[in-house]
Amino acid sequence: MKHILRALALAMCVTLFAAAPASGQERSATKQGFELAPKSGKKILVFRPSVQVGSQSTGGMFEPNGEWTDSAKRNLQVALEKLQTKLGNEIVVAPEAYGEDAQKLAEHMALFAAVSDAVIEYQFFRGNRLPTKKRDNKEDVFDWSLGAGVADLPGAKDADYGLFLYNRDAYGSTGRKVLQVLAMLGPGIPVKSGEHQGYAGLVDLKTGDILWLNADAAMGGDVREAEGADKRAAQLLEDFPGSDLGQ
Amino acid sequence: MRALLAIAATLWAAPHAAAQQMLPPPYQGVYQPQGVDEIGLWREDDEAEKELAASPLVIRDEALTAYVKHVLCETVGDDRCNSVRVYIIREPTFNASMSPNGTMRVLSGLFLRVRNEAELGAVLGHEFGHFESRHTLQAFRSRRTGSDVLAWGALLAGMAPGYRTMRTYQDLQLSVYGSLFRHSRDQEREADRLGVAYLNRSALRPQAAGDMWQHVMAEAESSASVRGLKKPNFNAIAFTASHPPNGERAAYLTELAASDGDARDDGAARYREALATWMPVFLDDQIKLNDFGASDYLIQNLAQNGWTDTLWLARGNLYRTRGTQRDFIAAAQFYQNALALNPALGEAYRGLGLSLIKTARRTEGQAALKHYLQLSPDASDAAMIRLMLPEENSQ
Amino acid sequence: MTHRMFRTLTGAVAAMALLATPALAHRLRTAKEAATVAGSDMSVTPDRDWNRLSMAPGKHAETWTLDGEQLNDVTFYGGIAPDEPLVRERSKKRDPLPKFLQSTLLVEIPELLEGTYRTQKNIASFELLSTEPTNFLGNKGVRFTYRYTDDDALTRNGEARAAIVGGKLYMITFDAPRLYYFDKSIEPARALMTSATLPGGGAH
């Protein structure tokens, strides 16, 4: 019922935040007490990094580009390996999901997005904090979860943590964002993007608790240069627990 | 505008005689995307289809899906329809689309707007026409060059950064609902033409295309007039949004239809049978949208093939929900009509009982509710209804 | 499709207008302290701290949440008069919502909420799961449950209680994603519902 209003409120947060990037707005948080050491022997599962690459025209249209997509697919493996070494722990790619598994995964992705929205809107954004979340902030509490249902997601049995990467782009594809993140860490595929919202979250695959979240609603800007792309990727995965990306 | 109409007039006046023989061009066979744009579009579409397949809104009924595919094949021919994947989405609006990689999306609201296989085939054929002519690719290219700025204004507005509302909408529309591209008028004409051409060659009645078009216009007018609006919002219907002028369209659709096809079967009985289990659900989805004019029009339009218990029940619920005193009296009659056709229709007794109670016929109303409980003892609201009966009422 | 788009646009414009007025902060609703809700005399006592959102969905409605209304949403409807919709209409003319009527029976309240959700969201996937008698605000009331899939692709469960007192509709609804959040928050939501009182409400 209130989704439209909420959406507008979030839009306002985003706009205000984008206008004043130095206002001390939080972008990421870690669950109290959670630590992930480099080379801890823990496995991190990345969900369905499907691939789409294209460019952005002046009018703001995403133009899918098949050849880029093909080369991106070839490069994905390389990028993953790079990512893995930079993230400090072992990365496993989730198996392709079909049927009910795919539905379950899609619903969890949607929940992850909704939770990320809520975190940005009601805990990170200073002007709009919920009173109870304000208190949480003071006490350094970051208590959000996707629930224990994540344990049944495809591939979850074989890993400790799940890395959810979610993006809302004009074409509704989560895959493109994932690719961008990976590609930017990798061989520098020229991915152009006009996207603005990117969420990355590390989730405990037994409890569903969000251990680390980088929910940046203002990743915007016209990242047309490789340099800008690198910056963006670093932004999304900065402070990733156990990684040396933030430094 | 005037110039456009003039062009349109010449375009459609000229091939008058030839129109009667209008048949589809020879099928080009299985198509593979070519060039950067098209290959990219297909890739993206494959991704979207994957998301669609996992959507909670997809109706996973093999029989219904197979039936729609069957009607598509009957319309466009087996050679053409083979590679198509049909997805039916629970969405109470009138639309269907076909995307470049061969995914056909049918929104459930469509099933209330067609009364037979020929009309269903007309819509599916129209969409297939866009697909066969690869209009999406053309639309995509023209969009990029900005030659169609007005038509794309709404879509671009949806991508304005910061408006999450719109973004969410886009997410759903483009991944689940699919790329419901707005085609240009000329493309619509071409698809219309192909749609009728398929029907001409099929065993179905090609005049159905023109019929259905008229019903869609009439529904919009009915909706507007009940709401006290001067003009129907034709833009609200996807099929009319950027389409050729209404009068022109109805006329040329009829003109293009092979005249000897008029006597053909339109498959009304088969359609009704195939939709038997879903029709009550889709009707319910419609009447709960609080659009009295459109809903009442749709029910009566479907009833042109004969009233059924389902149609009377839906109409009773529609009137009871609007809730003027007159409506309750009308509703009671509609429920009784439903029960005359199917005395075991418990829900009709429920509606009848509630309507009677509201028109101060409490005893009769309670009797009807009692019938409801006898027929549907496990109804989700049985305990509530029981409270309205005399025995339990004296606590 | 365009239909939906235009509806959304209208909604966005309306919401912008709302937002143009100075934003009020969300308020804390402290555990064990009674609070009146939705501009009415209806009063509830939470069993833990809740947040009251500054933006109300309607003239006689108010929303509380624990983690954000997309994750757990309790909405109070405080005295909806006959011929009023439950929440603010986007457009009275073009997109009217169903109205609570003088003739509306208690057993029809679930249908009213269903019609409001379906119309407002333009969705088809809404299912009423159960409707039972209950005592609410010291009156004969109705308790019902439902499920729907929203435009953010999440399926939500809902539970509500309602009563008609003095010709007006009083209702409390709870909506949350069926994944995790419904179960997580249903107990505190029920605590709100059972704590609800209305002065002079239990006169029967």
With contact defined as 3+ CB pairs under 8 Å, the chains touching B are A, C
> A209: which DSSP letter?
B
Closest to B51 in 3D by CA, of A53, A172, A165: A172
Task: Choose from A15, A126, A130, A139 for mutation: most chain C CBs within 10 A.
Answer: A130
Whole-angstrom Cα distance, residue A176 to residue B48?
A: 12
Mean pLDDT of the region A133-161 = 93
Helix (H) or strand (E) holding B225: helix B208-226
Q: Does A8 touch chain C (CB under 8 A)?
A: yes
Q: Does B90 touch chain C (CB under 8 A)?
A: yes
pLDDT by residue for chain C (204 residues), tens only, comes to 233 333 333 333 333 333 433 356 899 999 999 999 999 999 999 999 999 999 899 999 999 999 999 999 999 999 999 999 999 998 888 889 999 999 999 999 999 999 999 998 878 899 999 999 999 999 999 999 999 998 788 999 999 999 999 999 999 999 999 999 999 999 999 999 999 999 976 544
pLDDT(A150) > 90: yes
Q: Do C125 and B288 touch (CB under 8 A)?
A: no
* pLDDT above 90 as % of chain A: 18
Q: A3 falls in which pLDDT band (50, 70, 90)?
A: very low
Say if CB B192 and CB B253 are below 8 A apart.
yes
Closest to A184 in 3D by CA, of A203, A160, A201, A200: A200
The separation between CA B197 and the C-alpha centre of its own chain, rounded to angstroms, equals 21
Whole-angstrom Cα distance, residue C192 to residue C172?
A: 9
Q: Do B323 and C104 touch (CB under 8 A)?
A: yes
Cβ contacts below 8 Å, chain B against chain C, sum to 129
Tokens linked to B259 = 């005249």
3-state SS of chain B: helix, strand, coil percent to 5? 65, 5, 30
Q: Does B37 touch chain A (CB under 8 A)?
A: yes
Chain B 114-133, residues with CB within 8 Å of chain C CB atoms: none
Angle (CA) B23-B105-A198 rounded to 5° is 140
CA dihedral B247, B253, B255, B256 (to 10 degrees): 150
Q: Does C91 touch chain B (CB under 8 A)?
A: no
> A122: which DSSP letter?
I
Q: Do B172 and A11 touch (CB under 8 A)?
A: no
Using a CB-CB cut-off of 8 Å, the residues of chain C touching B182 are 2
Q: A65 falls in which pLDDT band (50, 70, 90)?
A: very low
Q: Does B172 touch chain A (CB under 8 A)?
A: yes
Chain A 87-106, residues with CB within 8 Å of chain C CB atoms: 106
Whole-angstrom Cα distance, residue B173 to residue B238?
A: 13
Q: What is the pLDDT of residue A222?
A: 34
At B188-242, the pLDDT tens digits run 888 889 999 999 999 999 999 988 888 888 888 898 889 888 777 665 555 555 5
Q: Do A131 and C179 touch (CB under 8 A)?
A: no
Q: Does B168 touch chain C (CB under 8 A)?
A: yes
Q: Do C154 and A107 touch (CB under 8 A)?
A: yes
Q: What is the pLDDT of residue B54?
A: 83
Q: Does C88 touch chain A (CB under 8 A)?
A: no
Q: Do A4 and C8 touch (CB under 8 A)?
A: yes
Longest dimension (CA), chain B: 80
B193 burial type by CB count under 10 A (0-12 exposed, 13-18 middle, 19+ buried): buried
Residue type for A38, please? P
Q: What is the pLDDT of residue B179?
A: 43
**What are residue A64's DSSP bridge partners?**
A54
Q: Which CA distances in Å does A133 have to A114, A217, C25?
A: 16, 18, 13
Whole-angstrom Cα distance, residue B315 to residue B335?
A: 8
Say if CB A89 and CB A39 are below 8 A apart.
yes
Say if CB C29 and CB C67 are below 8 A apart.
no
Closest to B346 in 3D by CA, of B385, B387, B377: B377
Which backbone phi and psi does B301 adopt, to 5 degrees?
A: -65, -45
Using a CB-CB cut-off of 8 Å, the residues of chain A touching C67 are 115, 118, 122, 130, 133, 144
Residue of A nearest to B163 (CA): A11
Q: What is the pLDDT of residue B93?
A: 84
- Which residue of B38, B42, B54 is in closest CB contact with A103? B54
Residues of chain B with pLDDT under 70: 1-21, 29-31, 35-37, 39-41, 43-44, 47, 136-183, 233-247, 391-395
At A94-106, the pLDDT tens digits run 877 778 888 899 8
Instruction: Give me the residue spans of the domains in chain A.
Output: 41-237
Tokens linked to B59 = 């109706």
Residue of C nearest to B176 (CA): C153
With contact defined as 3+ CB pairs under 8 Å, the chains touching A are B, C
Q: Do C179 and A122 touch (CB under 8 A)?
A: no
Tokens linked to A192 = 């152009």
Q: Which CA distances in Å does A151 have to A89, A104, A161, B106?
A: 20, 11, 10, 34
Whole-angstrom Cα distance, residue A65 to residue A40?
A: 39
The CATH class of C26-195 is alpha beta
Q: What is the pLDDT of residue A13?
A: 40
Using a CB-CB cut-off of 8 Å, the residues of chain A touching C117 are 1
Residue of C nearest to B163 (CA): C12
Q: Does B29 touch chain A (CB under 8 A)?
A: no
Residue with tokens 């405080």: C78
Q: What is the pLDDT of residue B237?
A: 55
Handedness of CA B82, B83, B89, B91 (dihedral sign): negative
Q: How far apart are the first and last CA of chain C?
A: 49
Q: What is the pLDDT of residue A25?
A: 57
Would the pTM of this model clear 0.90, i.e. be above it?
no
pLDDT(A61) > 60: no
B108 burial type by CB count under 10 A (0-12 exposed, 13-18 middle, 19+ buried): buried
Using a CB-CB cut-off of 8 Å, the residues of chain B touching C141 are none
Using a CB-CB cut-off of 8 Å, the residues of chain C touching B166 are 8-9, 12
Whole-angstrom Cα distance, residue C175 to residue C189?
A: 10
3-state secondary structure of A146: coil
With contact defined as 3+ CB pairs under 8 Å, the chains touching C are A, B
Residue of C nearest to A168 (CA): C152
Give the residue with greater pLDDT, A24 vs B118: B118
B30 burial type by CB count under 10 A (0-12 exposed, 13-18 middle, 19+ buried): exposed
Q: Does C54 touch chain B (CB under 8 A)?
A: no
> Can you list the domains of chain B with their CATH numbers?
2-261 (no CATH), 303-393 (1.25.40.10)
Whole-angstrom Cα distance, residue B275 to residue B279?
A: 6
At A180-199, the pLDDT tens digits run 444 444 333 333 334 445 67
Q: What is the pLDDT of residue A156?
A: 94
Using a CB-CB cut-off of 8 Å, the residues of chain A touching C57 are 1-2, 5
Q: Does A4 touch chain B (CB under 8 A)?
A: yes
Q: What is the pLDDT of residue C162?
A: 98
Q: Do A2 and C16 touch (CB under 8 A)?
A: no
Residue type for A235, please? Q
3-state secondary structure of B35: helix
Whole-angstrom Cα distance, residue C175 to residue A3?
A: 12
Say if CB B191 and CB B133 are below 8 A apart.
yes
Closest to A25 in 3D by CA, of A119, A115, A123, A125: A125
User: DSSP H helical segments within C50-131, as ranges?
Assistant: 109-121
Q: What is the pLDDT of residue C180?
A: 98
